[in-house]
Chain A
Amino acid sequence: MLVSVYRYNPDKDEAPFMQDIEVNIPEGRDLMVLDVLGLIKEIDPSVAYRRACREGVCGSDGLNMNGRNGLACITPMSEVVKNNKLVIRPLPGLPVIRDLVVDMGMFYKQYEKIKPYLLNDTPPPAIERLQSLEDRDKLDGLYECILCACCSTACPSFWWNPDKFVGPSGLLQAYRFLIDSRDTATAERLAELDDPFSVFRCRGIMNCVSVCPKGLNPTKAIGHIRNMLLQRAT
């Protein structure tokens, strides 16, 4: 099968290029894209990509496969290969360090901006801060984000303003702390988001929802944040 891989080594190459590699795929098995990258690495050891857990937990191998973002380790070939060809590119919108490895700095900066930790100004209890089952249920569908950046790098609003728009991943996490009953900084968190860029650049095109490898819904979380901002302002 023909696999076209994005190549760029800033120390050697003047510009990025696509390298076509013929890979022998074992018959009768539906390999994951990460397995194919492993086969490519045997042919050309200079191909660089990130990987770690190889089971969709760590979020290291977010890639663009035949035009669609996803985790290479849990994306079966049968799902992405078209006309017996696979095109593998780095996540779009982020600076490329080398080949399929991108600089996630901007993505993490946005994540840091939303203060992804509990803020509570009441004295700490002797053991732990308790939460009712109902309040805990509100965190489902939010806390599972693994920060793979598949959603934010599929979002045109993030492509145009990665320094100002928090992006779907960061906003999903922002709502995770806004809705947490143990967090007491809701007003301060909302005040930080009430500008024309941080939340309101979302145009609701739902690319984030369609590519999230964990099946999460950042657009819905952004809608909730918008409603909270609206309630606070009217």
Chain B
Amino acid sequence: MVASVTSLGRSGVYDWLVQRVSAIVLAVYFVFLLGFFAFSSEITYEIWKGLFSQGWMKIFSLMALAALGAHAWVGMWTVSTDYLKNGVTRFIFQAVCGGTMFVYFVWGVQILWGL
């Protein structure tokens, strides 16, 4: 057993599952958006705002945002533990990644509920 305190769930199987489930959520979200673009006769500010004003779309977008954060955390953590062998550099890299993801998440919530 290799101890690891900076991974998302401190468990290999948890991180693995999060990576797969978040990938499915992101795939469904982006396929939906592509479908929306493809089947809308025109995209105006009102139509776009109308879509994101609906409760279900806010929840769906928030879910995709959370999935993006978790997916990116697991991915970037894996990259950092593969290639960054200096502990201090690795921790700074992970902290910057985690901070960036947190900012994007809060910013996303602000945008979604500020409409």
Contact = CB atoms under 8 A, between A and B. Distances in A.
Given A160-B83, A161-B81, A196-B12, A230 B17 contact: yes
B92 interface: no
Interface stretch (B2-10, B54-62, B100-108): B2-10
Interface stretch (A7-15, A141-149, A187-195): A187-195
Interface residues of A, number: 21
Contacts of A160: 82-83
Interface in B1-39: 1-4, 7, 10-17
Nearest to B74: A196
B2 A164 contact: yes
B17 A196 contact: no
Interface centre among B3, B4, B12 (most CB of A within 10 A): B12
A18 B14 CA distance: 46
Contacts of A198: 1-2, 12
Nearest to A199: B12
A6 interface: no
Nearest to B9: A196
A195 B83 contact: no
Contacts of B77: 196
A194 B11 contact: yes
Contacts of A194: 1, 11-13
A74 interface: no
Contacts of B11: 194-196, 233
Interface in B27-82: 77-78, 81-82
Given A161-B82, A226-B16, A229-B13, A196 B1 contact: no
A230 B15 CA distance: 11
Contacts of B7: 196
A196 B11 CA distance: 6
B1 A191 contact: yes
A49 interface: no
B4 A197 contact: yes
A65 to B, nearest CB: 27
Nearest to B83: A160
A170 to B, nearest CB: 13
B17 to A, nearest CB: 7
Nearest 3 interchain pairs by C-beta? A200-B12, A197-B2, A160-B82
23 contacts: A160-B82, A161-B81, A161-B82, A192-B1, A193-B1, A194-B11, A195-B4, A195-B11, A196-B2, A196-B77, A196-B78, A197-B2, A198-B2, A198-B12, A200-B12, A200-B16, A226-B16, A229-B12, A229-B13, A230-B16, A230-B17, A233-B13, A233-B14
